[in-house]
Structure 1
């Protein structure tokens, strides 16, 4: 068995300390390139959440819990005993762009990069495995699936550190802000956005090739719908994208068909119930399903 060298283990922390010295809040990423799970005291957000989250809470946990909300510029925290284990297991450092007064346009494939070059002002770019990160000066709200292969990472989000990139950073343009504004949030009381069609029923008749039990699928769907409906003020469309992507990934090893269209209808209906317009809800869910399967919507 091969063990990572001391240099490999220390590099994420070195990157983090260097970024923090320049005023960029940072956090460690696990082997799955995601933030570390919450500790037992913070599981299911029982602690109330970090004070800098959308819903301020009382959490003062010394561990790197709550993903992007744990990001810090404090070297004493970054090198503390509570964070040491995470850095020893980390494969990369990430940063909170909104906390650094930045917005990152995450372009996930060649088509998205081509679109950005035609539609957005040039700015600093960072190559990624499949596309590019475009960095702009100025924060805004984050939003996933604003168009095929394009996510916006700023407030309430994190971005993996892949290097400084090249080029001068341009001010955040209205064209990027407009992408997130496509998702209208909760409508005014009494206003009707649109009426969802009756959601299809998910059962064995539409999922003849699914390897999961009905209880397993419906439990996961129920939890996802609850997450979407909890976003009553903003972000329901982005949450619908995430739920669709997560559910689709659970079926990657199934021979199929798995009746994902029926699941999609339920997620769309949940997003519409908290004010997301139907066209945006359907696009977000379709992009979530297609992202999980490696296709662009």
Structure 2
């Protein structure tokens, strides 16, 4: 097997797609699910029927259902150990266009610590237990037994590739593979906030009425806040943008009359966080909306 799939013409004279296919079948036989990667070391795009995830996605993909497409769709989720699929006609065109072979580490029960430069390698050598190592163009892959959540840029020059991710296959590597250590798992853990930060109090100059709400009745404000909550809750995509625009609309309508209270802002933040926004994103969006309006 030619371990380095960077070259388009293997040294054994085999046509590139045949070499890639041979590597992929060998990986599959070893229980490692491969997939072809095109120029730029990225997966092939979805077919027309699956474009925009209209098909519902592949099994085991986040928020996606089954997909019966036989094409090379859905990136890492297309990786398989089924030799009949790997060598099937739908995959043949992809192997002909592929520049290298990728694989799904999580599907093989593995985690790859991708060290992108010499500084990252030095850090790993002084911090992480030794394991199987594969040389890359700019650094090294350290491969451990065990899976975890994938996450990029866990520290300068260091990415983690395991579940719901893919890595480039660059050969079997050297050294004995060891169990995934807690030191690696800890890298992907986002520090939870110790407490929900208090929303910014809206202390802005009153507009003419000495602080009296120009809307006269609290019911008007309550309806406005309720509608804003519904707008955020109903967002099916673009949540960041929806939250910011909703905050902007609320502040535009109520930010200058002094009627907004912390209780109202907490309601808006709670709606945003229920849609997956972090407290920091909420605070930033609120501050940006105030800045936009000059409050």
Please indicate, yes or no, whether the TM-score normalized by the shorter chain is above 0.5. yes
1:193 to 1:162, Cα distance in 2 relative to 1, 3 A? farther
Q: 1:192 aligns with which of 182, 190, 196?
A: 196
Residue 69 of structure 2 aligns to a residue whose secondary structure is coil
Q: 1:148 aligns with which of 152, 156, 159?
A: 156
Q: 1:172-194, CA deviations, whole angstroms, 9 ceiling, x for partnerless residues?
A: 0000000001355xx89xx6257
Q: 1:155-183, CA deviations, whole angstroms, 9 ceiling, x for partnerless residues?
A: 00000100000000010000000000135
Deviation at 1:227, TM superposition (A): 6.3
Using the alignment, how far apart are the partners of 1:113 and 1:84 within structure 2?
37
Q: How does 1:1-297 map to 2 (within 5 A)?
A: 6-182=14-190, 184=192, 192=196, 229=240, 274-275=277-278
1:108 to 1:193, Cα distance in 2 relative to 1, 3 A? farther
CA contact (8 A) 1:146 1:182 kept: no
TM-score when normalising by structure 2 = 0.64
Residue 160 of structure 2 aligns to a residue whose secondary structure is strand
| Residue 261 of structure 1: aligned partner | none
Deviation at 1:59, TM superposition (A): 1.3
Using the alignment, how far apart are the partners of 2:174 and 2:41 within structure 1?
23
| Residue 289 of structure 2: aligned partner | none
Deviation at 1:66, TM superposition (A): 0.3
Residue 82 of structure 1 aligns to a residue whose secondary structure is helix
Which 4+ residue blocks in structure 1 deviate beyond 3 angstroms? 3-6, 193-196, 226-230
CA RMSD in angstroms comes to 2.9
Residue 122 of structure 1 aligns to a residue whose secondary structure is coil
TM-score when normalising by structure 1 = 0.63
| Residue 287 of structure 2: aligned partner | none
Using the alignment, how far apart are the partners of 2:45 and 2:65 within structure 1?
18
Q: List alignment gaps of at least 5 residues for structure 1.
A: 197-225, 231-269, 282-297
Q: 1:122-150, CA deviations, whole angstroms, 9 ceiling, x for partnerless residues?
A: 00000001110000000001011100010
Using the alignment, how far apart are the partners of 1:31 and 1:85 within structure 2?
14
Using the alignment, how far apart are the partners of 2:189 and 2:85 within structure 1?
36
Deviation at 1:8, TM superposition (A): 2.1
1:103 to 1:277, Cα distance in 2 relative to 1, 3 A? farther
| Residue 259 of structure 1: aligned partner | none
Q: 1:64-122, CA deviations, whole angstroms, 9 ceiling, x for partnerless residues?
A: 10000000000000011111110111111111000000000000111111100010000
Residue 15 of structure 2 aligns to a residue whose secondary structure is helix
Using the alignment, how far apart are the partners of 2:158 and 2:198 within structure 1?
26
Residue 125 of structure 1 aligns to a residue whose secondary structure is strand
Q: List alignment gaps of at least 5 residues for structure 2.
A: 1-7, 201-236, 242-272, 285-295
